[in-house]
Amino acid sequence: MQTAQQHASSIGILGTGSHLPANAVDNALVGSRAGVTAEWIHRKTGISERRYVAEGEATSDLAAHAARAALDNAGIRPGQLDHIVVATSTPDHPQPATAAIVQDLIGAEQAAAFDLNSVCSGFVFALHTAHRLIADGGHALVIGADVYSRIIDPTDRRTAVLFGDGAGAVVLGPVPDGYGIQASRLETFGRQHRTIRVPAGGSRRPACAETLAEGAHWFAMEGREVRDFVTDQLPLSVKELLLRADRTGAEVDHFVPHQANGRMLADVLPSLGLERARTHFTVAEYGNTGSASIPITLDAAHRDGAFQDGELVLLSAFGGGMSIGSSLLRWHRA
């Protein structure tokens, strides 16, 4: 199924925020557990380190820190929020929604709060959803937050070397005409749903002694299939989004991709047609933080003053499902 939506009103990003755990984990430590060297990890992924949560920390804690930073950056009080959407595939609990916990932590009692799971594409899916929710006015908080260190098998070199923990957030609200979200494109390729998975712990295979013994509660990924999917589908998706927005790749000023794997991103970039765009990266410092990777990178670029008023910013993510989500924004710098 595919959806594409032109902007119905001028809604844009008013502020950004992010939060990374204090515990930095280098390649030497990760590699020793996974049976590979630090040099091998960097050569294959471009990652130098990643962050892991402390004992007792959960997804909602990271999300709340990022939310407060975004609200402060936007100059918006928690009580002004109408909606909170948390994109995560590593919720605190099966129930309730992590967003409900975040609502309580930040004191946003008036906001309707819910989770959205489209794995690493989740933030862009949530951004589009929140945009539609406040098309007639109001403010929304969109958060991408994941704690992959809790679901990664440390001995699996296909996954353990890539993933880290973190959260990023944006506040959406009214911006001047012509600014804000210009178009979004969401795609799901359900026939490939087995490519990225956590086999057990849900209603099909509830957690039990047998699934624990199998390691079926660990995150699993077919790396070559993911690379092939991204190589084939991401250029098509980006070009279709730009076509529907009546823009060309040459008009895009900034590209903020999902920080999946630095080497894979470098390989696919030339095929996207974004010849003059500045691509922003945080993958070397933080690894793949799932649904948090785009808002973390967006916040870093914003706070560095990278985005100028009126510039076009393209966000594009890919993840389990399989799924791709992209959004084109005209940046408003107040």
| Active-site residue list | 120, 258, 288
Residue 305, amino acid: G
Look-up: residue for tokens 């359900």? 190
Q: What share of the chain is helix, strand, coil (3-state, %, to 5)?
A: 35, 25, 35
The per-residue DSSP string of 119-164 comes to: TBTHHHHHHHHHHHHTTTS--EEEEEEEEGGGT--TT-TTTTTTB-
Instruction: Please give the radius of gyration of the chain, using alpha carbons only, rounded to the nearest integer.
Output: 19
Peptide bond into 91 cis (omega under 30): no
Pairing of strands 11-19, 165-174: antiparallel
25 backbone dihedrals φ, ψ, rounded to 5°: -120, 120
Number of helices (H), then strands (E), in the chain: 10, 15
